[in-house]
Structure 1
Amino acid sequence: MTTATKGADSERGLARVAQSLAGWTEKWFPDAYVVALAGVVLVSAGALANGSSPQTVVDAFGGGFWDLTAFTLQMAMVVLTGYVVATSPPVAKLIDRLATIPGSARTAVSLVAFLSMSVSFLNWGLSLVFSGLLARAIARRTELRVDYRALGAAAFMGVGAVWALGLSSSAAQLQATPASLPPELLQITGVLDFGTTIFTWQSLLMCAILIALTVVIAHFSAPTGAAIRTAEDMDVDLDDRTEPVPPRSRPGEWLEYSRVLPVLAGVMTLGWLISQLLTKPVLTTVSSLNGYLLVFLILGLVLHGTPRQFLQAVANAVPAVGGILVQFPLYAAMAAIITRAEGRGGLAVSDRLAELFTNVGAGWFAVVIGLYTVVLGIFIPSGGGKWLVEAPYVMQSATDVQMNLGWTVQIYNVAEAVPNLVNPFFMLPLLAVLGVRARDLVGFTFLQFIFHLPVVLVLVWLLGMTFDFVPPVIPAGP
């Protein structure tokens, strides 16, 4: 019997159930790309059942497959820029310093959870790598005897709790970027900047409540005494030494090893940012996905110091973006089939679903949409890509029942994070950093899921009642 099996056998109550769930998921849950492919088939079957002709369905599939090309690259860059910044030497030094702060094992778990969620508000890709490296640095403090599973689960809380309520929320970024919005969705919602989504006081309050709740659960669920399993107990190698950059071997490589170009690029980016802030509304600048990525990419270049070191970090980050590059076109195809493949009565599947949600009425709309998003997210882990699938009919029904559109985006956002606590797909980059398996963490994240689900549903319902309906402003065509 392995050490991991013995640990699972010794668990009781919710932790034992969660370990069993993690084992089942690892054995039976297919790769996320396969789930997306199955989603295309199911959506196509739904369109055919709605009366669409086979030709209409395949035309929508092929016509919409590349609709999200720009957005796909943008989401891949969110992950890549986060990875590059997190692995830069200055951030590595910051991580080592932060690791010296906790004075006890449970305080260490609480700190990792809090910082994971705080950094995730800026960039969820940065949060995964930063928090994983922080967990490893704390685990090297053998005098603390911190449970490595609890540390790893705490490092995941940024993506498992509040990532979509922050600046890298793909749904909020998409709604604030008219060039990235599919025409069908733009005609329903108009453009929604961060002032109507991320930066409403209701969204910020909800984010603060979830952070506090998560930290408390992480603190008191961390094992103590004989139940602790350290990184050493789990045979995890905590040596974080990286391959050094090879020395310059020829004169032509001088600029590759020079700090001159990164500094100049940093100065230009800073000048551009100042110019944007002085000439445009602050929320417009902050909501710009392209501007956001520009700042993070050049920040990574400056922090790594030289182009050679930066490119080495980029090469290490590339494997983490593969899933996004091949999955998002399938979500675009699904969205096109749902919205464009007209069936009986000239109505597409999105029209039928809009009618269904409209019939719910404003009173329970937030709760129903929240539950629907959670359930769908368990089977389609997308990082927000499935917003393109849901948005046309969800936002249309929100307009019909006069639910605030900005808050509807936030209902989706907060509910989108909840299923990440039980679906291991978004753990993959973190698991690679930690050197563990999903089953080692899901016992703790499942406990968070049990508390988060009812709290999220209550919050979206109560806070939703504080909004007034604002009709969408549809931009004029070119």
Structure 2
Amino acid sequence: MSLTRTVELIFRRFLPSPFVIALLLTLVTMGLALIFGDFSQEDHVGKDVLKSWERGLWNRELLVFAYQMMLILVLGHVLVLSKPMERLILRLTSLTRDGASAALLVASTTMLVSFFNWGLGLIFGAILARKVGEYAQRQQIPLNYPLIGACGYVGLMIWHGGISGSAPIKVSEPGHLAGLMKAGAAGAESRLYPETIPTSDTIFSTPNLVVFVLVFGAICALVYYLGRTTGPSAISLPSYDFAPRETSSASGAERLDRSPVLSTILGSLIFIAFLVQYLPQLKTLNLTPDMLNFFMLGLAILLHGSIRNFLQATQEAIGDTAGILIQFPLYFGIMGIMTESGLIHRISDFFVTVSTERTFPVFTFFSAGLVNIFVPSGGGQWAVQGPVIIEAAQRLGVSLPKAVLALAYGDQLTNMLQPFWALPLLGITRLKAREILPYTLLFMFVGGIIYLAGLWFS
């Protein structure tokens, strides 16, 4: 049995849905807290575990975080459903000349778009791969369609080090680190955490940008080579239709819903308010989730041309977020148990024992890759794993921006192995997981070497 079939079999037969995994992780965390937990309250330990779980589930700061992460995904998806993005995709599709150019086109544009917004990149890459396959079918251009599908997914290997990366963009928010850690740290100790880690130290730092350029170049070279050397596959695809738009005449109040003037006014007001509020932060390259979402909201309204089109696209985009949205409270409950029981301290003690300042980012990278298999949400993973990494990094004297990027690199890398986020792409391209896995595993191997080298030598 080939490696890719083995990987697919493991995920299909032995790994349940991410929501069930979150439930199982909750039960495991409860069990560990019952055995190893150290609660300060005088209640029975079982009550302490349940109370800490409930407080974590409905932690207001973390619920705001969940909503911010969902908006990043939804608004990115809404953008790709707009008419200008449709025209862009069709224009790019017409550049296909052969299998190598098609693979290079899909992989390069998908990675660039995903660096800006992972939700946008996820759907953009899927639709572009599908339209390239249709174009090749019409023009009788031989190409390896599963390779093209894999190229449309490669953006998920660079997203967490990009502008919409959950961990880097969240730690740039003033007070986030202290709020994240306060349940597991004494008041005096919690003041040691910086008010903010600006994105100029993470996303826009020289080491991260160098790593991104190296990964981008290596993957582009790899897919071009694969496009030239792998045999073509049979393609039989019906035409993929973009989101339908209302064309019939409107009357009464419906005119406001379909008015391009109203959407232009609203979108323009959002951009004016954006510049008034965030121009100083833009000058210092310090992005926050609110800033990114505000910008994408205004852009999405303008690109859709009417409030009605915008709301129709939003309704379609929200459906793909349901599975992740309902998982976030479970991740927060796990975090609540870990912090209040002292498990975070115990786990960080282990990291401190086995790591040095040099090796800690490498351990973080591998542990993040492993955790991503079970918690396939960057935001959820940050909520669960972030406090452990931050505390251990503080105690070892490791640069916090580097620790955050180590988690981001590990999380994004194993998306090439974990098929959860590939589901939208598989649905749009009509491919199967086992067809794209041989190529995504190659992407993971090449990218992993570069990420590890970047962490070791930076």
Length-normalised TM-score, structure 2:
0.90
Match of 1:367? 362
In 1, Cα distance between equivalents of 2:97 and 2:257: 42
Query: What is the CA distance between 1:350 and its match in structure 2?
Result: 0.5
In the alignment, structure 1 residue 128 sits paired with structure 2 residue 133: no
In 1, Cα distance between equivalents of 2:348 and 2:414: 23
Match of 2:143? 146
In the alignment, structure 1 residue 183 sits paired with structure 2 residue 179: yes
Could you say what secondary structure the match of 1:178 adopts?
A: coil
Pick closer, same or farther for the CA change 1:412–1:381 going to 2, 3 Å: same
Q: Deviations over 1:379-432 (max 9, x none)?
A: 221123211111222111111111110111011111111111111011122222
Give the residue type in structure 2 aligned to 1:237.
P
Runs of at least 5 residues in structure 1 that lack an aligned partner in the other structure: 1-8, 10-15, 342-347, 464-478
In the alignment, is the contact (CA less than 8 A) between 2:96 and 2:102 conserved in 1?
yes
In 2, Cα distance between equivalents of 1:291 and 1:310: 20
In the alignment, structure 1 residue 406 sits paired with structure 2 residue 401: yes
Match of 1:231? 235
Match of 1:301? 301
Match of 1:197? 202
Question: Aligned-pair RMSD on alpha carbons?
Answer: 2.0
In the alignment, is the contact (CA less than 8 A) between 2:101 and 2:227 conserved in 1?
no
Q: Deviations over 1:151-204 (max 9, x none)?
A: 111011111x21001110111121112365562426363221101211110111
Match of 1:171? 167
Pick closer, same or farther for the CA change 1:311–1:243 going to 2, 3 Å: same
Runs of at least 5 residues in structure 2 that lack an aligned partner in the other structure: 39-44, 183-189
Match of 1:472? none
Could you say what secondary structure the match of 1:82 adopts?
A: helix
Pick closer, same or farther for the CA change 1:180–1:400 going to 2, 3 Å: closer
Query: What is the CA distance between 1:275 and its match in structure 2?
Result: 1.9
Query: What is the CA distance between 1:247 and its match in structure 2?
Result: 2.1
Could you say what secondary structure the match of 2:158 adopts?
A: helix
In the alignment, is the contact (CA less than 8 A) between 2:82 and 2:303 conserved in 1?
yes
Match of 1:64? 56
In 1, Cα distance between equivalents of 2:430 and 2:289: 32
In the alignment, structure 1 residue 245 sits paired with structure 2 residue 246: yes
In 1, Cα distance between equivalents of 2:447 and 2:149: 18
Pick closer, same or farther for the CA change 1:51–1:329 going to 2, 3 Å: closer
In 2, Cα distance between equivalents of 1:361 and 1:220: 39
Could you say what secondary structure the match of 1:251 adopts?
A: coil
Identity over aligned pairs, percent: 26
Query: What is the CA distance between 1:436 and its match in structure 2?
Result: 2.5
In the alignment, is the contact (CA less than 8 A) between 1:80 and 1:314 conserved in 2?
yes
Number of aligned residues: 437
Structure 1 counterpart of 2:22, from 24, 36, 52: 36
In the alignment, is the contact (CA less than 8 A) between 1:248 and 1:257 conserved in 2?
no
Match of 2:260? 259
- Which stretch of structure 1 is more off in the superposition, 130-139 or 177-186? 177-186
In the alignment, is the contact (CA less than 8 A) between 2:361 and 2:402 conserved in 1?
no
In 2, Cα distance between equivalents of 1:164 and 1:444: 20
Length-normalised TM-score, structure 1:
0.87
In 1, Cα distance between equivalents of 2:228 and 2:30: 47
In the alignment, is the contact (CA less than 8 A) between 1:150 and 1:444 conserved in 2?
yes
In 1, Cα distance between equivalents of 2:216 and 2:331: 30
Q: Which runs of 4+ in 1 moved over 4 A?
A: 179-182, 277-281
- Which stretch of structure 1 is more off in the superposition, 258-267 or 44-53? 44-53
Structure 1 counterpart of 2:113, from 111, 114, 119: 119
Give the residue type in structure 2 aligned to 1:28.
F
Match of 1:384? 379
In the alignment, is the contact (CA less than 8 A) between 1:381 and 1:423 conserved in 2?
yes
Query: What is the CA distance between 1:60 and its match in structure 2?
Result: 0.7
Match of 2:348? 354
In 1, Cα distance between equivalents of 2:283 and 2:288: 10
Query: What is the CA distance between 1:303 and its match in structure 2?
Result: 0.5
Q: Deviations over 1:299-323 (max 9, x none)?
A: 1111110111111111111111102
Match of 2:84? 90
In 2, Cα distance between equivalents of 1:49 and 1:231: 56
